[in-house]
Amino acid sequence: MRQTIFPLLFVTLTMATTASAQNPVIRDQFTADPTARVFNGRVYLYPSHDIVPPEGVRQDWFCMADYHVFSSDNLTDWTDHGVIVSQENVPWGNPTGYSMWAPDCVQKNGKYYFYFPNGPKEGRGFAIGVATADLPEGPYKLEPKPIAGVSGIDPCVLIDNDGSAYIYWSGMGIRGAKLKDNMIELDGELQEVKMPRREGMPEMPPMKVGGQQMEGLPDGFKEGPFAFKRGDWYYLTFPWVRGDTSNGATPTETLAYAMSKSPLGPWDFKGIIMAEHANHCWTNHHSLVEYKGQWYLFYHHNDFSPRDDKRRSVCIDKITFHADGTIQEVKPTLRGVGIASATSRLEVDRYSAASTNVNTALNDTTHAFRGLHASLPQKGSWITFGDVDFSGLSDSYLVVCAKAADNTEFYVREKNAKGKVIAKVTMTVKSEITRPGSPTPFRRDQSNQWLTLTVPLEYTPKGVADIAVTCEGAAEVSIDWLQFKNRPNYFTTVPAKSAPTQPDERGFIRRWQLREPIKQDIRSNVIFTDSWLRKTFADELDKLPKQKAKWYTLESETYNIKIFRFAEKYGSQLYGNLFWCETNIDCAEDIENIRLAVGSNGASMWWLNGEEVLLLEGDRRMVEDDGVSNRLTLKKGHNVLRGAVINGPGLSDMCVRFIDEQGKPITNFNIQ
């Protein structure tokens, strides 16, 4: 038998990762008809791949040209392994049919069998092809012919405890058949069936059909069989149009199921797994899988294409079984499954639950993959978002992307709408905000636009907790996402009685004692004249011994001391501060004819052993060696270098070192 080999060609060279604990789970392409399987401890997702039909192809119909496979070990972070099978490479398939509908993949004796429907090169209808691989993500090798005796779509394979394999498909109802050990042929005789003649079409020759009709299923349109075994029950689950409009439901697909004690039935119909989609998306298609002790329902919905129900996206929700094996109906959520790290972007617009007046809408109606936002219209409106893991938080703050009129308040709380307040957010004209991707905050002056705000925390939950966002003001608040961030470690605390350190190789002093910032109300740095600075520093210096302020001994990660980060952590405001700093220098001998060289943002003044040695007046930037003192001596033994840095509306930092006559750094002293 000739086998067509399509080696690595089919696997895209890069693997993309998407992190999305919410529904839909794949956010950069349409994905439908999800079959989830657990292989080697990971969940593999084999969906079909909806695309927008190219020109010349029917625009209002399903359009699929290839298959991707995705995998995850937490149902949150998904790796796209790329294309595994493509229509132009199927030896028997129509290369421009765009009919690569719902697939499945199973593993037997270490080999992976990928089953997929496709339109044949000649004739009409669908056949089911097989591709095999040594790994779940491929590369896959295509069988030259489809499975004889199977005419239809939506293949699903069940492997029983004794290794017997059964295939189910839809076409003329739902059919099932035993597979031979080779997994690519039906076991048993094929029957000749006369094909019904379609109006205007030539008569078709009779077809050889295998397997048997699945008995016991309800009337009404059925497709997409997914069969599995749990305990000693076999389940046959399937999209089903119940056609019952009495409860207001439109005749679109539900997900339904039947149970049996034998793999090919007869089946005992049990009811609904998921009701019709509320927005009338016509199809649903699904699979059930147990992973790490929890059962999950994978299904699809047209969230990213609300006006076109042939472009769909895969969602996941938890599913539970009653003690008698029957299934509890699943209500679709936007939150989906998986524990979301508090430090990842929490798309709270895809909430677990919401007050009835909350609306969700696309951020950009022309680019659905740009996501959604949720609007909380009035005081008391709320959304909750389950399973957030706070364990990775230390010294953190909240970043939130929201839109509201000025002075509108909303809170982030633990657990629910009445829970403990984690952070209070007020949208004000003078909000200090950070552009995404930029570390520099700035001030905004317009209202009711999308803003990314940085907010201090009132309280940090422990472990895994649910959170809620509550509207506290009279006006509407729209929320896109939240994220908790840990402040980077710009400083290390130096414990008392630590060993002395030295300046770095460029002579910069990194160990400092910093007094907690002193708030200043300074609108502009133009006031930093010599006389103003001398008076201000002299007054403050006078007060220093009388104050009960806290001093911190810190070692900086960088040569320039980011005292604005110190202010952020230990002060009441980021801008408008006076900082006192001291460092203790021990010399083995006198070091003469050297100069103190300082860069500071903004102005600063420096004293060595109580004597003023340098003043940097005016509105300064931190530039290395911006101001240099007269010649001075670091005396043998102990020396104290003291500085005062002051800034109005800017972010403060400083770099300090001693240099010799040639400008070379002095490094031969200890710092206590």
Contact set with ligand FUB (CB under 6 A): 32-33, 48, 62, 101-102, 153-154, 223-224, 239, 283, 285
Q: Least separation, in Å, of the C-beta of 312 and ligand FUB?
A: 7
Choice between 285 and 657, CB closer to ligand FUB: 285
Please identify which residue in the block is written with the tokens 């980011």: 562
Side-chain-side CA neighbours of 176 within 13 Å: the count stands at 26
Choice between 52 and 361, CB closer to ligand FUB: 52
Q: Least separation, in Å, of the C-beta of 37 and ligand FUB?
A: 17
Nearest Cα to Cα of residue 67 among 103, 37, 107, 14: 103
A 10 A CB-CB count for 75 gives: 24
Q: Least separation, in Å, of the C-beta of 9 and ligand FUB?
A: 25
DSSP letters spanning 134-171: SSTT---EE-SSPPTT-BSEEEEEEE-TTS-EEEEEES
Three-state SS at 272: strand
Q: Least separation, in Å, of the C-beta of 153 and ligand FUB?
A: 5
Q: Least separation, in Å, of the C-beta of 76 and ligand FUB?
A: 25
Phi (first) and psi of residue 550, to 5 degrees? -90, 140
Choice between 156 and 475, CB closer to ligand FUB: 156
Q: Is residue 223 annotated as a catalytic residue, yes or no? A: yes
Q: Least separation, in Å, of the C-beta of 126 and ligand FUB?
A: 9
Side-chain-side CA neighbours of 43 within 13 Å: the count stands at 26
Choice between 49 and 511, CB closer to ligand FUB: 49
Choice between 283 and 536, CB closer to ligand FUB: 283
Choice between 277 and 620, CB closer to ligand FUB: 277
Nearest Cα to Cα of residue 454 among 473, 469, 465, 441: 441
Task: Please enumerate in sequence order all residues whose Cβ is within 8 A of that of 375, keeping only pairs 6 or more positions apart, or say none.
Answer: 358, 359, 360, 361, 476, 477, 478, 479
Q: Is residue 530 annotated as a catalytic residue, yes or no? A: no
Bridge partners (DSSP) listed for residue 382: 470
**Long-range interactions of 627-632: CB distance < 8 A, separation 24+:** 627/597, 627/598, 627/599, 627/600, 628/595, 628/596, 628/597, 628/598, 628/659, 629/595, 629/596, 629/597, 630/595, 631/592, 631/593, 631/594, 631/595, 632/594, 632/595, 632/596, 632/608
- Which residues have a catalytic role annotated? 33, 223
